[in-house]
C-alpha cells in the first residue's frame, strides 16, 4: 500500500524540483555572462595588441625612411639604391605623392577660373 503524502511533503518535493530547475537556469545565466565577459576582454586585448603592432610597424617604417634618407644624404641616388635592390620607402613615397597632388590642384582651379573670366569678357 502506498503511503499518502502530506501537503508539506508534496510542497517540499515540488520545491526541490523547482530549485533544481532554478539552479539549471542560474548555471545558464552565469555561463552566458562569463561568455560575454570573455568576449569583451578578448576584444580589448585584441585592440591593444593591434595598436601595439601598428605602433611597431610605424616605428620600423620611420626608421626605414630615416635610413633611406641618410643613404641619399650620403650621396646615393634613388636610382642607384633601386639598382642595389632598395626601392624608395613606401611611407616616403606616399607622403611625397600627396604633397605633389596638392600644388597641382591649385593651379588647375586657378586656371579654370581664368578662362571663364576671359570668356565672359569676350562674349
In a domain, 115, yes or no: no
Strand ranges in the chain using DSSP code E only, listed in sequence order: none
| Rounded average pLDDT over 50-54 | 98
In a domain, 103, yes or no: no
Between the alpha carbon of residue 64 and those of residues 53, 60, 69, 97, the distances in Å are 16, 6, 8, 18
In a domain, 113, yes or no: no
In a domain, 119, yes or no: no
In a domain, 57, yes or no: yes
Which residue range forms the structural domain that includes residue 32? 6-98
So what's the pLDDT on residue 118? 47
pLDDT at 18 over 60: yes
- pTM for this prediction: 0.54
Number of domains in the chain: 1
pLDDT at 123 over 70: no
In a domain, 109, yes or no: no
pLDDT at 76 over 80: yes
In a domain, 37, yes or no: yes
Q: Are 81 and 111 in contact (CB under 8 A)?
A: no
In a domain, 12, yes or no: yes
d(CA 116, CA 88): 41
Amino acid at each position: 500500500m502506498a503511503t499518502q503524502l502530506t501537503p508539506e511533503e508534496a510542497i517540499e518535493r515540488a520545491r526541490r524540483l523547482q530549485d533544481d530547475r532554478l539552479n539549471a537556469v542560474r548555471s545558464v545565466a552565469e555561463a552566458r555572462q562569463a561568455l560575454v565577459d570573455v568576449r569583451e576582454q578578448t576584444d580589448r586585448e585584441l585592440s591593444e595588441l593591434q595598436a601595439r603592432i601598428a605602433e611597431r610597424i610605424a616605428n620600423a617604417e620611420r626608421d626605414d625612411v630615416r635610413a633611406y634618407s641618410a643613404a641619399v644624404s650620403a650621396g646615393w641616388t634613388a636610382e642607384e639604391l633601386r639598382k642595389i635592390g632598395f626601392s624608395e620607402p613606401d611611407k616616403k613615397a606616399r607622403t611625397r605623392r600627396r604633397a605633389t597632388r596638392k600644388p597641382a590642384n591649385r593651379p588647375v582651379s586657378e586656371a579654370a577660373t581664368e578662362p571663364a573670366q576671359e570668356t565672359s569678357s569676350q562674349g
